[in-house]
Amino acid sequence: MTRSIEKGGAHLHSTRNRRFVFTGGPGAGKTTLLDALGVRGYRCVPETARAIIKARIEAGLSPRPQPKEFATMIFEADVRNYRGASSRKTTFFDRSVIDALGMMKESAAMSSADIEENLRRYVYNKTVFLLPPWEAIYHVDEERDQSFADAVRVFGSLRAWYASCGYDLLEVPVGPVDMRVEFVTSQVAGAG
């Protein structure tokens, strides 16, 4: 069941909001796609989880803290990224506050009421770009230590979570990055 988050009868995530999210499991090509969009002049915000993991490794710590702490760190960084982007200028996010709130819910790091309040506060364009698992390009590295099966599980969880939050998921076809860029930019142009 999909619900829309409303305030005063008006949808808070609309097609006029120019904050676009790329989500999906790890290793699906989100970073490569964002890099290609950045080369074309679009404002792009990188994934915060990878930055947190990288900083922890460089500090000699385990890649991830406990789930509640990790979810909170990601949420706080994603809120800063959200606030730094205008809703009127096209910006692409590699994951979002919505992903972080899903982690907060899963780890019980935030109450249901606070999650609902944050879903109303941090709103993105109604269309969310979902990148499916793509085994041919999947690989692990220092910051991505999940298996492909983990990536498939995360993809399913995120798809269900965003749908439950009232967002429209648009799956980005698997293929060369230029084709993916064309797909995304044509959809964004049609969004107003």
In a domain, 1, yes or no: no
**pLDDT given for residue 4 in this prediction:** 38
Calculate helix-pair angle for 177-190, 30-39, nearest 10 degrees. Answer: 70
Which whole-number Å values give the CA distances from 187 to 92, 124, 143, 172, in the listed order?
13, 15, 31, 10
Report the alpha-carbon distance of residue 15 to residue 127 in Å, rounded. 7
**pLDDT given for residue 164 in this prediction:** 96
Please give the sequence-ordered ranges of beta strands (E in DSSP) within 56-161, or none if there are none. Answer: 91-94, 127-131
The CATH number covering residue 115 comes to 3.40.50.300
The pTM of the full predicted model, rounded to 2 decimals, is 0.86
Number of domains in the chain: 1
In a domain, 151, yes or no: yes
Determine the structural domain holding residue 132 and report its residue range. 6-190
**pLDDT given for residue 144 in this prediction:** 59
In a domain, 102, yes or no: yes
**pLDDT given for residue 156 in this prediction:** 94
**pLDDT given for residue 134 in this prediction:** 82
In a domain, 50, yes or no: yes
**pLDDT given for residue 76 in this prediction:** 97
Q: Which of 75, 74, 50 lies closest to 63, judged by CA?
A: 50
Which residue ranges of the chain lie beneath pLDDT 50?
1-12
